[in-house]
Amino acid sequence: MPVRIVAESPLSQQSATANPASWSEFHGAHAQGFTADGSLPKRWSEDDYAWRHDTGDYNVGSPIVANNHVVFLASDVKKQTIAVRALDLKTGQLAWQRPYPHHVTHLHSRNTAASSTAAADATHIFCSWSDPEHTMLKCFDFDGNEIWSRDFGTWQSQHGFGTSPRIFGSLVILFNSQQGEQLKPGDTPGQSRMIAVDRNTGETVWETPLKTTRTCYGVPAIFQGKDGAAQVINANTGNGMFGLDAKTGEMLWSLPVFGARCCSTPLVVGDLAIATAGSGGGGNHLVAVRIPQSKNEQPEQVYRIDRGSPYVPTPAKKGNRLFMVDDKGIASCVDVTSGETIWKERIGGNFGASPIIVDDTMLIISLDGKATLLRASDSFEKLGQVDLGGPVGATPAYSNGRLLLRVGNEIRCLETSKG
């Protein structure tokens, strides 16, 4: 049962959101990885970047763009710190940074200390990170002042932290998924839960316990029903696909459709919730579930894709098509309502970053920094390829005619059109 902590925050009282042209959360608006406003070149060179910023260390947390700021997390492993950093979008100059102690021990080989993506509205920025003793959620204004801070306690995982906050109405929602299986001798199982706090104060509005099996990382999605009621949608190994009442945190439904860890972020398309699961050794699967909208309805698996499905990268959506690349370099286009494969082609390479689509161009970037541009259409067409010259685990951002890339220990800005 959800635990109610403070008086209910009315979800209808939504403050102004960030500029619609901004890329103010993981994978863009509604995590769907698509913007119609802009364009991408077929190729570019080292000399074409408008600016480059040295982040210090390589990390896989993605940048966001809001209020003409580029915001991201940066770690300093030697100093054992993590910082929230903001750059001027046009110039790349450092606007501010706020460092904090951060004592990370074991991480998966593809994870990093700063692996989370911030979320922003018109006035505030929300960031999360964790080490074994602390799970932090902090709020800043755009001048870098800390407004409030929460520590949700210990974090248990084989692979480290990686989820990101989601803003909805008066809430900031954090998927606190921890490890309960495959622990080392002497390790204590974690306690998984979904947490919603008041956006203005940081006070807990509700907490809902979840089945603790394997740490999962998808950012919560939001479904608005025909009656206006909102559900928080997510996916994990123990509960499967599930929906919570956004006002109270009550578990409304769940359907155990996953046989492995969920790393990608679920998409909500109409009344479908779509998510993936898998492992480094394969066995990936994508599942679409019809979301119940009343207590008389039951969740229903609509389709399942077992070949060419991603494990870590989140699919991008344009129109009624899903465009995706799996972890071993197979790109595909799928009908979002039926799961029918429109095309599938081997690109090659290994992938962790999620694809994005700008207008009619899909950008995918392999872990070794090979950027491939494809036509986001019903016919496969390779438009170009660029060697970025460094490793890439972070998903790109696009806003105001600028493509933001995290390559090695740099944030790079490529101006693609005037905005």
Q: What is the pLDDT of residue 2?
A: 60
187-224 confidence digits (pLDDT tens): 788 899 999 999 999 999 999 999 998 889 999 999 99
Band of the pLDDT at 13, cuts 50, 70, 90? very low
Band of the pLDDT at 419, cuts 50, 70, 90? very low
**Mean pLDDT of the 64-89 span:** 95
Is the pLDDT confidence value at 236 over 60?
yes
Is the pLDDT confidence value at 184 over 90?
no
Is the pLDDT confidence value at 371 over 80?
yes
Q: What is the pLDDT of residue 111?
A: 65
**Mean pLDDT of the 289-314 span:** 95
Q: What is the pLDDT of residue 68?
A: 95
Q: How far is CA 116 from the centre of its chain?
A: 8
CATH number at residue 54: 2.130.10.10
DSSP state of 68: T
Q: What is the pLDDT of residue 325?
A: 98
d(CA 206, CA 403): 37
Q: What is the pLDDT of residue 11?
A: 53
Q: What is the pLDDT of residue 18?
A: 47
DSSP state of 189: P
Whole domain around residue 274: which residue ranges? Answer: 3-415
> Do strands 124-130 and 251-255 pair parallel, antiparallel, or not at all (unpaired)?
unpaired
Q: Kindly report the number of other CB atoms within 10 A of residue 104's CB atom.
A: 20
Total number of domains constituting the chain:
1
**Do 241 and 299 touch, CB atoms closer than 8 A?**
yes
